[in-house]
């Protein structure tokens, strides 16, 4: 009886999560992880993206150039692979966050007793993705959250044309050697370089084109102007504006 009850709870929770997961167009895959050093360590990014595609998602690395229809970062989910510390066992789970850093879904934890890291990570990650496959993801045609934080629907019936003003995020130059990559946090983003090193921290505001920004102990703002991002702050009562290349 207890087993049947647990199965029922898991089944209904999957349905509930899939209803929100389905409102996102694609998933962004990180190229580095808290528990492992370097870019795409042990092919974790590669394996994560492959599993997401297998589960039916559109998936892109965080340093990919996104197609025009995916430039609204709030249409996207941001995946991360987390490791649970355990003795003689590798435990991994996948966490999905929205554009504001809120956790939308957390997978079951996959486990492996393999000693070689890459083999253990692949085995435990594949196991974690079994619960994600069970979501049967299919994009609903809805947008979960707009850049302004208001729910909207992408698929609408024919209606008279109405002029709408939107704020487009500047398009990043991926060839720029100083390009920074935005990783969602609880209250905004952290911008990292290719080292990877955290260069700047961003706190969200009521506007999608402006953030409170902190860099090297200096607080200012990151603002979108003329299709570019600028870090602006005061130094000796003088306004300083520095161009920043960011990939959200």
pLDDT in tens, 140-163: 887 554 444 444 444 333 334 433
Answer yes or no: is pLDDT of 50 > 90: yes
Answer yes or no: is pLDDT of 31 > 60: yes
Residue 14 confidence class, pLDDT cut points 50, 70, 90? very low
Average pLDDT of span 12-30:
70
**Percent of the chain at pLDDT above 90?**
43
Q: How far is CA 240 from the centre of its chain?
A: 30
d(CA 29, CA 84) in angstroms, rounded, equals 19
Average pLDDT of span 51-59:
95
Q: Which residues does residue 165 pair with via DSSP β-bridges, in sequence order? A: none
d(CA 65, CA 176) in angstroms, rounded, equals 13
SS3 209: coil
pLDDT at 141: 81
Average model confidence (pLDDT) across the chain: 81
* Edge-to-edge strand list for the sheet holding 228-235: 238-244, 228-235, 218-225, 210-215, 198-204, 188-192, 180-184, 246-247
Burial of 37 (0-12, 13-18, 19+ CB in 10 A): exposed
Has this prediction a pTM greater than 0.75? Answer: no
Answer yes or no: is pLDDT of 83 > 70: yes
CA-to-CA separations, 235 to 216, 217, 241, in angstroms, rounded: 13, 13, 10
**Percent of the chain at pLDDT above 70?**
81
Answer yes or no: is pLDDT of 168 > 60: no
pLDDT in tens, 179-219: 998 888 888 899 988 887 889 999 988 888 899 999 988 88
Answer yes or no: is pLDDT of 75 > 50: yes
Task: Write down the domain spans for the chain.
Answer: 2-143, 180-247
Top-tier CATH class for 2-143? alpha beta
Residue 16 confidence class, pLDDT cut points 50, 70, 90? very low
d(CA 52, CA 59) in angstroms, rounded, equals 6
Strands 228-235 and 218-225: antiparallel
pLDDT in tens, 120-131: 999 999 999 999
pLDDT at 143: 56
pLDDT at 145: 46
Average pLDDT of span 53-77:
90
Residue 8 confidence class, pLDDT cut points 50, 70, 90? very low
Average pLDDT of span 217-241:
90
pLDDT at 164: 35
């Amino acid at each position: 009886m207890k087993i049947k009850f647990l199965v029922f709870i898991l089944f209904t929770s999957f349905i509930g999560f899939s209803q929100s997961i389905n409102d996102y167009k694609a998933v962004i895959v990180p190229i580095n992880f808290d528990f492992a050093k370097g870019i795409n360590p042990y092919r974790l990014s590669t394996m994560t993206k492959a599993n997401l595609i297998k589960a039916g998602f559109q998936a892109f690395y965080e340093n990919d150039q996104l197609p025009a229809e995916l430039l609204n970062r709030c249409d996207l989910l941001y995946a991360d692979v987390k490791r649970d510390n355990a003795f003689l066992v590798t435990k991994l789970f996948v966490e999905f966050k929205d554009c504001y850093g809120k956790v939308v879904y957390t997978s079951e934890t996959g486990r492996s007793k393999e000693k070689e890291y890459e083999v253990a990570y692949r085995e435990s990650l594949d196991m974690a993705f079994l619960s994600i496959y069970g979501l049967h993801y299919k994009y609903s045609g809805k947008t979960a959250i707009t850049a302004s934080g208001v729910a909207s629907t992408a698929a609408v019936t024919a209606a008279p044309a109405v002029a709408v003003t939107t704020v487009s995020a500047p398009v990043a130059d991926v060839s720029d050697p100083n390009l920074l990559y935005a990783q969602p946090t609880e209250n905004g983003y952290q911008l990292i370089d290719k080292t990877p090193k955290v260069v700047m921290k961003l706190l969200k505001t009521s506007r999608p084109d402006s953030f409170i920004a902190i860099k090297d102990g200096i607080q200012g703002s990151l603002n979108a102007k003329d299709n570019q991002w600028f870090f602006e702050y005061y130094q000796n009562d003088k306004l300083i504006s520095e161009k920043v290349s960011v990939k959200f």
